[in-house]
Amino acid sequence: MKSSGKILLLLLLAGTGGLPAAAEARPVPAGEVSPVRIHVTYQHTDYVSPWNRKREESRSGYGCPVAPGKILTAADIVKDATTIRLEKSGESRYFPGRIALVDYDVNLALLAVDDDSFFEGLVPVELADLVKPDQPVQFLVFEEPDRIRAIPGSIVRISVERYFLGLNRFLALGAAVNFEDRGGGWSEPVVSGGELVGLTMSYNGSRHYAVVIPAAIIRGFLEAAGEESYSGFAHEGFAGSPTRCPALRSFLRLPEDSGGVYVTSVYPRGSAAGVLERGDVVLAVDGRPLDAEGYYEDPGRGRLEYRDLFSRHYSPGARVELEVVREGEVSRVGMELRRWLLSDYLVPPYGTGEDAEYLITGGAVFQELTLDYLKEWGANWPLVTNRKFHYHYHYNARQSLPGRERIVILNRVLPDEINLGYQGLEDLVLAGVNGRPISRIADLAEALEHPVRGFHRFTFEEHDREIVFRAGDLAAADARISRQYGIPRLRLLR
């Protein structure tokens, strides 16, 4: 079980008293509180043309110095970063930084600053142990040129939410705050009583509502970061739904005085694989009962969703005992928890800043389906994107399909004389090449080493579509296409 001991953060904080009761921001004297400002330039991959990167853009956010010589911030602040500069209040100098560790699932990152002078004068502050609803807090922001402003707010919600980048759900805080004209949601430190409550993850200006990554999750991240290799957070490995419906409870033959969460999916690569089955009902986790909504009672935070039990109370590798109802019989089973990795997804929900893998042959552009590719359809992508792709992401992102680790797709065909007749093909799921099944993009490269009777034949899940190239024509065509479209590399595989 993860330690509940306090972890020290190096945040320049020397006795911040409570804010005035009036809902007005007040300046904080220089030297009393000093969050770190982070300036990032970044480039996203162009998933429509994966050999390219989009134009360089910039963003700014905040962070907290932590020992030894690291800066804690939100992962989305530094995602796809090309340069990172850090700024201290009252100084005109920028310090270069680099990513030392990142966990996109909990949206947290550690930055390294090689210049030790950056940390001079910083005073340790502790992570808050427990935050309660209606607790007043302060959001720390820079005010030019050399002042820090503490914007008052209050915690209004404690829940288990999906985080900004991934699909997993973790403990989160909701706070009422008005950032005025400063934006907000850019990893601003949230403090109370001289302790760090959390970092902001998002902000809704019309509702004056911020979602905060709480100190409890930050603590787990820092503890895992201090291990020989980063272990991350445990994942339950199944999806569940409530058991409040009387007919469902009767059908499942549940004890009258029990709650429980109904197991709707068991993820093949997750903790529950081989332990739970679809249709099971989990009544309790290590003696902590679940109610009919799938919630348990946390002593300090109230009712929280069952997923919090696994992610916050245990580390990967820990064993838990589940009380389970299967076909009307109550039993106890042991389950070893593991971290859900990006490689476990059939359709990854985020990229890690690396260039996308792709392979172009005969002008046909192949790559693996990702959420980043779907987002190229724009803000309304769920409504306008390819329906099959949307289905795979929405329903199968954590599932494994027979013979597939990822879904390889034909993005489009770059027009050339070799692909006449195929130039309108796009957004198809590649099933096989030369009679070989395709599980991931590397399989395509392997299949191209084995033409059949001098030809390459590409088949797709859409049964009325296929492509055939003469193998001996591809070398010249690929060289021509590379020149014509300015593509320096026709394949990028890892």
What are the pLDDT digits (tens) for 62-85?
Answer: 998 887 788 999 999 999 999 999
* Pick from 104, 191, 94, 112: nearest CA to 372: 104
The reported pLDDT for the residue numbered 65 is 85
Q: Is residue 199 part of a domain?
A: yes
Domain end among 225, 257, 276: 225
Q: Is residue 155 part of a domain?
A: yes
The reported pLDDT for the residue numbered 12 is 34
Residue 286 belongs to domain with CATH number: 2.30.42.10
- Rounded Cα gap, residues 324 and 326, in angstroms: 6
Please state, in angstroms and as integers, the Cα–Cα distance from residue 484 to each residue in 49, 479, 488, following that order. 14, 9, 11
Are both 152 and 24 inside the same structural domain?
yes
Q: Which amino acid is at 382?
A: P
The reported pLDDT for the residue numbered 27 is 54
Average pLDDT over residues 211-230: 94
Are both 166 and 258 inside the same structural domain?
no
Are both 21 and 150 inside the same structural domain?
yes
Please state, in angstroms and as integers, the Cα–Cα distance from residue 415 to each residue in 97, 123, 477, following that order. 43, 62, 11
Dihedral angle of Cα 410, 415, 421, 427, to the nearest 10 degrees: 20
Q: Dihedral of CA 332/337/340/345: which sign?
A: negative
- Rounded Cα gap, residues 430 and 410, in angstroms: 7
Residue 194 belongs to domain with CATH number: 2.40.10.120
Domain end among 336, 358, 373: 336
Q: Is residue 281 part of a domain?
A: yes
205 Cβ neighbours under 8 A, 6+ residues apart: 179, 183, 184
Token look-up 């419906």 returns: 245
pLDDT above 60: residue 2: no
Summarised one tens digit per residue, pLDDT across range 289-303 is 999 999 999 998 999
Range(s) of the domain holding residue 278 = 238-336
Are both 66 and 128 inside the same structural domain?
yes
Q: Is residue 466 part of a domain?
A: yes
Q: What is the pTM of this model?
A: 0.90
Are both 331 and 350 inside the same structural domain?
no
274 Cβ neighbours under 8 A, 6+ residues apart: none
Judge whether 217 and 106 are in contact, CB under 8 Å. yes
Judge whether 222 and 126 are in contact, CB under 8 Å. no
Domain end among 336, 360, 376: 336
Are both 277 and 351 inside the same structural domain?
no
Return phi, psi of residue 238, to 5°: -150, 165
Number of domains in the chain: 3
- As a whole-number percent, the residues of the chain with pLDDT over 90 amount to 79
Q: Is residue 230 part of a domain?
A: no
The reported pLDDT for the residue numbered 353 is 85
